[in-house]
Structure 1
Amino acid sequence: MPYVESKRSVYSEQRFRNTEPGKYRNTSETIFTNECEKEDYLIPLYSDTSVSAIWEYQKGSQWMKYPSGINVKIEKAYQRKKTGKIIIEMDRTTYIVIFSRMIQANVNNKTEMAVRRKD
């Protein structure tokens, strides 16, 4: 296999050094390589703090709030389809939150807990 010379190191470093934080500027340099490095990709980050509802599950007689990231995922899924469901992972356990029944079902042992949405 022929050797492919890479110009990536000089151009990548220069491209990212001259870019403002949070913004990506297209460059005209071409990267000649057969390998991809993590700095060759820019993955946009979206704010996960823009939901106003709080989701809780009932553990015994207590209502427990979901962690922030999971709360956002549940709320976004609920907004897409209020009769749908979402699969979540929490504390190394997989659950299905079923909006039409307002329950959280444990996939492994089939136990169910009530869930609620607070505006």
Structure 2
Amino acid sequence: MRRGIIAKAIFVGTVAVGSYAFSGSAFAQEAPKRIDVSVKKFAYEPAEITLKKGQPVVIELTTQDVAHGLKFKELNLNTKIEKGKTAELAFTPSQVGDFVGHCSVFCGSGHGSMTLTLHVTE
């Protein structure tokens, strides 16, 4: 009888620990922060975004005028946005700093000044 009680106690303890571990508190993955960015000749709106290091993010880019792109050389990120469509740039910032992205598809005379700045903080 004593073995049965001990076995039940071990079972209940194991289930309790397992339930806690998988309840979301220990292994929950943070949902990505979604940021909508409107793209047009010759600007991104918003033009600056502040992110936290380690927090997953999805930047959703839309354009209605012409094709554009967005490239962050330092972060190894690059995407193209087709006219009338949406593109997603999904990543998790791993470094702190200010990173300037440039339009990577020639879109006219103001193309060279078209930038989006990411401020990544701790």
TM-score bucket (shorter structure): under 0.3
Instruction: Give the structure, 1 or 2, with the largest relative contact order (CA under 8 Å, sep 6 or more).
Output: 2
Structure 1 or 2: larger strand share?
A: 2
For normalisation by structure 1, the TM-score amounts to 0.23
